[in-house]
Amino acid sequence: MRAVIRKNINKVKRKMHIRKTVSGSATKPRLTVFRSGKHIYIQAIDDVNRVTIATSNDTIVKSKKRGVETSEEVGKDLGKKLVDLGIKAGVFDRSGYKYHGNVKAVAEGIRSAGINI
């Protein structure tokens, strides 16, 4: 149990360290990722006005693929929504997760939709 608690504490520390430097605006929102055991969620957040601009997750996309392929589809979906809103750039917030696997696939999906991160 101590290992699980320590792991969560370390993740929160990494997340706060990232959030000190990463901030979004209306023209360049913060793109934050959340991974659960089964799903992946991503939001475009305007930190200045404290509003969520756009969201996407794997239940909205309803892809037949699983894992990394689904994550890339979620990234493409959010990127398409941002392009429709006229946003061309964003700041990627990995929320304390390592930049590999699903998190990396989401970032690549957003880039492939035409958003500069």
| Domain map (residue ranges) of the chain | 2-112
Cβ-contact 114, 79 below 8 angstroms: yes
Distance CA 16, CA 69 (A): 29
The β-bridge partners of 40 are: 35
The average pLDDT across 84-92 equals 94
3-58 pLDDT, tens digit each: 889 988 998 898 888 888 888 888 899 999 999 988 999 999 998 999 999 999 99
Q: Is the pLDDT of residue 83 over 80?
A: yes
Q: Is the pLDDT of residue 115 over 90?
A: yes
Judged against a pLDDT cut of 90, whether residue 67 lies above it is answered with no
Residues for the chain: how many in total?
A: 117
Residue 101 vs residues 53, 88, 89: alpha-carbon distances, Å: 25, 24, 22
- Cα distance between residue 99 and residue 78, in whole Å: 18
CATH 3.30.420.100 for the 2-112 domain, yes or no: yes
* Global pTM value: 0.85
* Average per-residue pLDDT for the chain: 91
